[in-house]
Amino acid sequence: MFRQLRTRFGGPLAMAIVTLLGIWLIVMVTLPQLQMIEYSLRPNLLPAQIGGPDDRLTLANYATLFNNDIHRTIFFKTIWSSVLVTLLTLAVSYPLAWYLAKVATPRQAALCILLLIIPFWINEILRTYSWFIILAFRGPLNEVLMMLGLIDRPIRFLSGNGGVMVGMVYAYILFMVFPVYNAIESLDDNQVRAARDLGAGTVRTHRRIVIPHAKPGIATGCIMTFMLAAGSYAVPALLGSPGSRWFTQIIYNWFFEGGNWNQGAAYAFLLLVLCIGFMSLVMKVFKVGLGDIGK
């Protein structure tokens, strides 16, 4: 990276950029994570007890998750639900990315991208509230469905995980569309035409030509979407029901309602390890490296 920066900006400026980046990574990423790990290995003590004989390293905060059936269930449900959100987002984003990259004219693509970006000029909480209104028991969606005669009575869309799934797919669709779009856009059109000339149908062309080429973009989109979904708090808090709690809500409760920062740090670190593990798994499945994703 330094060599590329030096070629583009010159030695002194490249050194300054690398130095600032290193400082930012140390101060804003590394040190907070180390502090969180240190917190997670300490018991929750009164201020007068800190530094005393009871203030020792322990794994008790981590054991709490595996000893608490409710928290353990929510943890694994969050993993599964985040994977489902990732797959749904990919299913919605892939056709859209293909259309933008290879079907739409430059004017149509620009208009479509603008329409995708404009809603994200609004705060995420306000966008989530808009879905809360749409999916409400007496909301516009139920009114339209009853007006069309498709349902006899309103449906409680917000009583389970359905509303959370819809809200998350909408909230993170850009993080899937753009990496996949960038990967597909670099595909040579002659490869697609050659596949069709040789008799390959649409499904086979995408399976054998487009998807293998777009693997780095798909992997990047899946990683970003999963990490955002697993770490989301606003969407499940606003669109979920008491029976559809997210693991981040438990972490929030430990920090800001229970006042147990040590337990919250342990849960947060476990969630971080989960995201890193998912990222490694995706990279292995798609057979891509960090360099491929960085492109």
Position 119 scores a pLDDT of 84
- Give residue 6's pLDDT band: very low, low, confident or very high (50, 70, 90): low
* pLDDT score of 93 more than 70: yes
- Give residue 91's pLDDT band: very low, low, confident or very high (50, 70, 90): very high
Q: Categorise residue 260: left if φ over 0, alpha if ψ from -120 to 50, beta otherwise.
A: beta
Q: How far apart are the first and last CA of the chain?
A: 12
* pLDDT score of 94 more than 60: yes
Position 192 scores a pLDDT of 85
* pLDDT score of 221 more than 90: yes
191 token code pair: 């490869």
Position 99 scores a pLDDT of 93
The residues near 168 (Cβ < 8 Å, ≥ 6 apart) are: 85, 89, 229, 232, 235
Average the pLDDT over 126-139 and give the result: 87
133 and 140 Cβ atoms separated by less than 8 Å: yes
CA 204 to chain centre: 29
The Cα–Cα gap between 233 and 174 comes to 18
- What pTM was computed for the model? 0.85
- Give residue 198's pLDDT band: very low, low, confident or very high (50, 70, 90): confident
The Cα–Cα gap between 75 and 25 comes to 28
Other Cβ atoms closer than 10 A to 173:
21
Average the pLDDT over 65-69 and give the result: 89
124 token code pair: 């995420």
44-58, 116-130, 142-156, 209-223: range with lowest mean pLDDT:
44-58
Average the pLDDT over 98-113 and give the result: 90
Position 147 scores a pLDDT of 87
Position 11 scores a pLDDT of 65
CA distances from 73 to 77, 166, 181, 213, 250 (A): 6, 22, 36, 38, 12
The Cα–Cα gap between 69 and 267 comes to 14
* pLDDT score of 1 more than 60: no
**Helix segments in the chain, DSSP class H:** 2-9, 11-25, 31-40, 60-67, 69-98, 106-117, 124-134, 140-147, 162-185, 189-197, 202-205, 211-213, 215-230, 234-239, 247-252, 261-286, 290-294
CA distances from 194 to 105, 136, 150, 191 (A): 21, 49, 45, 5
The Cα–Cα gap between 265 and 260 comes to 9
CB-count exposure of residue 184 (10 Å: 0-12, 13-18, 19+)? buried
Other Cβ atoms closer than 10 A to 122:
11
